[in-house]
A and B are shown apart, each in its own frame.
Chain A
Amino acid sequence: MPRPAALRPAAARLIDLDAVREQVLPNGLRLRVLREAGAPTLSYATFFQVGSRNERPGITGISHLFEHMMFNGAARYGPKQFDRVLEARGGHSNAYTSNDLTVYYEDFAAEALETVVDLESDRMRSLRIDDEALEQERGVVMEERRLRTDNSISGLMDEALEALVHQAHPYRWPVIGWMSDIERISRADCEAFFRSCYAPGNAAIYVVGDLDPEATLALLASDYGDIPPGPAPAAVASGEPEQRGERRAEVRYPAQGPSLLCGWRAAAARSPDAAALDLAQVCLGVGESSRLRRSLVHQSALATSVGVSHGWRIDPGVFSIYAEISPRVKVERVERALATELARVADEGVSAAELKRARALLRSSVLHELGTHNGLAQALGQAEAMLGDWREAGRALELYANVTPGDVKRAVRRYLSPARRNTVVLVPERAP
């Protein structure tokens, strides 16, 4: 998203954007390298532009299941070798899958760079996909689902909310997938998935830390250059009908008391409203002096805790508010109080002081993120994946600085209206 050129110098201080070296290999793989002094370490992140958004019913959860498969060996480094080799060289690895992305990252002592490039390029080139590995990871992922969703109240409620907010869009199913789909994903599904979604043209690599930029680019080009390009991933069915009225769901589960989770379909990351919604999030629910914590937790004491969440996604995601309800308080009272607070922002907006506070909190949070090599690599990758350009990572503060109280009011009025609300109520049940 182009932004006024006059604002750019301030951004350059946040990340030295001029120091980022970039290259695109003939097979489509994008390389971005940033030398950063500080700890004698490197962070290495590989972003694949694939997440649950790219799935379809019947194979929901395949992106996440596949993330597990990536640790099961390739042509040169066989089963169990990836982490062994990396750990011996003083590094560790992990990965995450979101609605939009699958990201692998390694943090390690700087001298292990060649080993990491070797390990990562090996699995992008020649991952082993066999029945044994698939069955093993299927079992592990089913345990992960039992942990995070089936035996977790917040997991059950989040899953119910996404399915309410999105009726047509792939965001309606959970990233981990439905249990019945995890059970049936086949080896052929995985092989087809790897060919297109893990082709170099669908990936970008970010290396940040104690490195020589030119030598690092040369090393990457030589190790990844011969990986053949693959077919483009299928287009995403990203449509979603307009919501015309509140939708509600109940989750019945053994619990000590009721909880409330409300969600609204938010703006896409590329929309100028995304930053306004971030500021609305902080004004409403970050810190003890935020509106909802002050009114619902400290003043009326209707809730024992309140949290507001808003994450950027490629297509419009979810803005949500969660409340743990005080003993002997009826859920409806909290719903009404919440609606009143939102209506107040929609009608009157937020004050300049509130906005200043929100900007200060967001500034600290951005600076914290950029304080580590891993945080920098993730920020560059997220910016490119969400906004189409890694340079946007250096402009986060400008985005927030440009939001006015009027923008916050408009965003709350437009996105968080009662008619677009989705409500999930936890109804406590007795244990069987």
Chain B
Amino acid sequence: MSRVQQPTVVRTRLENGLQVVVAPRPGVPLVAVRLLVRAGSALDPARRFGLAHLTAEAVRRGTRRRSGPKLDAEVEALGAVLGGGVDEDSAALGLSAPLEALPRLIDVVADVATCPSFPAREVEQLRRREVAALEHDLDEPAVVAGRATLAAAFGEHPYGHPSEGRGRDVAATRRGDLAAFHARTWRPSRATLLVVGPVEAAPALALAVKRFGGWRGAPGGELEIAPPVAAIAPAVVIVDRPELTQVQLRIVSAGFPRSSPDHAAGLVAGAVLGGGFTSRLMEEVRVNRGLSYGVRCGFTCSRAGGLFSFSSFTKVETAGELVQVALDEIARFREGGPTEEELERTRGYLCGLYPLSLETHEQWAEKLAGIELYGLGADEVTGFSDRVRAVDAASCLALARRWLPAERRVVVAVGPARRLKAQLARFGTVRVVTARSVM
């Protein structure tokens, strides 16, 4: 079986606590630079959902040395776009550009991360754009379904709201909120800088020391997110969208964190049941019944917890049938686990495809950032195949019985409530909400 060629990764912790990871590897003459900060949306304060996201966007709109337009022009002249993103656990800045631009890339990332000035006009415009984007999200049934699903899975836990935040909270956010959040969470001791590409480790590290060595974050205690407490009761949430002719459907239940020993078995079980084109759900829903174009399920794992989710869509008339098929397949898997043929095929699939997730410098930067974020072992990449190969029928079945939903699950549907209520009532107490209530 093919093995991934892991670069020799050089890890150094600077005096200020910043972790620097340099991974020299051959390939196209581009270099990927990524900064990961544990400043995700789970740290959003009450009534300020979206603050972490807004902060990660706003740092790119101006620093003490560079205005927003100057930053844009400088980065884009290098052939790069300074990307950023926030999930529940982290904020990331990333870009890749021709190798010779490395000193400039590190300089820009350091400037943006450590010296943002949050220019008033830029922040105001950004806030308006974000509010408008959330409004537009109301028109995307899959986005509405995703938001309702998170709320159903995590409730009041900090993972219960999406990173983009809530319209009224973003509208109420002021410049001072951003500066305070940045000072509290963007600290060198909570950050990792990654450099991946055909570089030499020593000069790359020297550049990192030169530009990030002076970063002094505000003092403060550790900010950790408590694990979510599973309190999911059987229920149906219908987000009413009378005009839709197709229903977005989700089934969600509790899961486990990324560092859990259940991760490998969860990957295999999720793939047998609802990954790829040959999963049981794909077979039943798409191939045998033609109910949908797409169907997936699996475990999503974060730093402090996770969830199991099923997702598909079908025409309004067949929504109840599709949910029933999904629940039946989940129950059958809980009962008997995978067959030997399914296991062998799925392990081959996961191990064979793994190298494809690590072809580019950016993919490596993201993978190495994840290892830091989730506190995974040094053999995370090289040991992948062995861990997957070690998953047998018994461990899959144990995983399924522990984590696949029987009773404690919520069905979420986005579509015309009037036509869905009767179809979905058999799956639990039905609650009808407006799309706006989940935004």
Q: Do the beta carbons of A135 and B290 come within 8 Å of each other? A: yes
Q: Do the beta carbons of B359 and A87 come within 8 Å of each other? A: no
* B contacts with A, residue count (CB < 8 A): 68
Q: Is A371 an interface residue (CB 8 A)?
A: yes
In the bound complex, residues from chain A placing their C-beta under 8 Å from that of B246 are: 143, 146-147, 150-151
Which parts of A111-147 form the interface with B (CB within 8 Å)? 111-112, 135-144, 146-147
Q: Is B382 an interface residue (CB 8 A)?
A: no
Q: Do the beta carbons of B290 and A367 come within 8 Å of each other? A: no
B143 to chain A, nearest CB (A): 12
Pick the contact of B353: A90, A289, A324 (CB < 8 A): A90
**Per-residue A-contact encoding for B67-86, CB less than 8 Å = 1, 0 else:** 01100110011111100000
Of B110-118, B276-284, B405-413, the one with at least 4 CB within 8 A of chain A: B276-284
- Which secondary structure dominates where chain B touches chain A? mixed
Q: Is A230 an interface residue (CB 8 A)?
A: no
Q: Do the beta carbons of A360 and B76 come within 8 Å of each other? A: yes
In the bound complex, residues from chain B placing their C-beta under 8 Å from that of A48 are: none
Pick the contact of A93: B69, B132, B277 (CB < 8 A): B277
Q: Is A44 an interface residue (CB 8 A)?
A: no
**Distance between Cα atoms of A297 and B361 in the complex (Å):** 31
In the bound complex, residues from chain A placing their C-beta under 8 Å from that of B315 are: 142-143, 146
In the bound complex, residues from chain A placing their C-beta under 8 Å from that of B353 are: 90-92, 107-108
Q: Is A432 an interface residue (CB 8 A)?
A: yes
A181 to chain B, nearest CB (A): 17
Please judge, given known A-B contacts A41-B355, A90-B351, A289-B69, whether A364 and B241 are in contact too, CB under 8 Å. Answer: no
Q: Is A372 an interface residue (CB 8 A)?
A: yes
Q: Do the beta carbons of B346 and A287 come within 8 Å of each other? A: no
Q: Is A109 an interface residue (CB 8 A)?
A: yes
Q: Is B243 an interface residue (CB 8 A)?
A: yes
Q: Is A247 an interface residue (CB 8 A)?
A: no
Q: Is A410 an interface residue (CB 8 A)?
A: no
In the bound complex, residues from chain A placing their C-beta under 8 Å from that of B78 are: 360
In the bound complex, residues from chain A placing their C-beta under 8 Å from that of B72 are: 287-289
Q: Do the beta carbons of B290 and A88 come within 8 Å of each other? A: no
Pick the contact of B136: A108, A111, A256 (CB < 8 A): A256
Q: Do the beta carbons of A80 and B283 come within 8 Å of each other? A: yes
A365 to chain B, nearest CB (A): 8
Of B27-35, B215-223, B365-373, the one with at least 4 CB within 8 A of chain A: B27-35
In the bound complex, residues from chain B placing their C-beta under 8 Å from that of A367 are: 28-30, 98
Q: Do the beta carbons of A326 and B30 come within 8 Å of each other? A: no
* A contacts with B, residue count (CB < 8 A): 71
In the bound complex, residues from chain B placing their C-beta under 8 Å from that of A144 are: 293
Q: Do the beta carbons of A143 and B351 come within 8 Å of each other? A: no
In the bound complex, residues from chain B placing their C-beta under 8 Å from that of A90 are: 1-2, 348-349, 351-353
In the bound complex, residues from chain A placing their C-beta under 8 Å from that of B352 are: 89-91, 108-109, 112
Q: Is B129 an interface residue (CB 8 A)?
A: yes
Of A212-220, A271-279, A298-306, A335-343, the one with at least 4 CB within 8 A of chain B: A298-306
A363, closest chain B residue (CB): B79
Pick the contact of B128: A40, A84, A326 (CB < 8 A): A326
Q: Do the beta carbons of B77 and A143 come within 8 Å of each other? A: no
Pick the contact of B76: A91, A93, A305, A357 (CB < 8 A): A357
Q: Do the beta carbons of A364 and B139 come within 8 Å of each other? A: no
A420 to chain B, nearest CB (A): 29
Q: Do the beta carbons of A87 and B345 come within 8 Å of each other? A: yes
Among A90, A361, A372, A374: residue with most chain B CB under 10 A: A90
Q: Do the beta carbons of A431 and B241 come within 8 Å of each other? A: yes
In the bound complex, residues from chain A placing their C-beta under 8 Å from that of B69 are: 288-289, 294, 298
Please judge, given known A-B contacts A255-B139, A289-B72, A289-B73, whether A305 and B356 are in contact too, CB under 8 Å. Answer: no
Q: Do the beta carbons of B314 and A143 come within 8 Å of each other? A: yes
In the bound complex, residues from chain A placing their C-beta under 8 Å from that of B360 are: 368, 371-372
**Distance between Cα atoms of A390 and B139 in the complex (Å):** 41
B11 to chain A, nearest CB (A): 23
Q: Is B301 an interface residue (CB 8 A)?
A: no
A353, closest chain B residue (CB): B77
In the bound complex, residues from chain A placing their C-beta under 8 Å from that of B200 are: none
Q: Do the beta carbons of B349 and A92 come within 8 Å of each other? A: yes
Q: Is B138 an interface residue (CB 8 A)?
A: yes
7 A–B contacts, CB within 8 A, in A order: A83-B276, A88-B344, A144-B293, A256-B138, A288-B76, A370-B28, A431-B243
Q: Kindly list 20 other residue pairs between chains A and B, CB separation below 8 angstroms, not including A90-B2, A256-B136.
A: A39-B359, A80-B287, A88-B344, A90-B349, A108-B352, A137-B290, A140-B292, A141-B293, A143-B313, A257-B135, A288-B69, A288-B76, A297-B129, A357-B73, A361-B80, A368-B28, A371-B27, A371-B360, A432-B242, A432-B243
Residues on A close to B: CB < 8 A? 38-41, 71, 80, 83-84, 87-93, 107-112, 135-144, 146-147, 150-151, 153, 253-257, 287-289, 294, 297-298, 301, 304-305, 324, 326-327, 353, 356-357, 359-364, 367-368, 370-374, 431-432
Residues on B close to A: CB < 8 A? 1-5, 26-30, 68-69, 72-73, 76-81, 96-98, 125, 128-129, 132-133, 135-136, 138-139, 141, 241-246, 276-278, 283, 286-288, 290-294, 313-315, 344-346, 348-349, 351-353, 355-356, 358-361
Identify the 5 closest CB pairs spanning chains A and B, nearest first: A90-B352, A139-B290, A360-B79, A40-B2, A288-B72
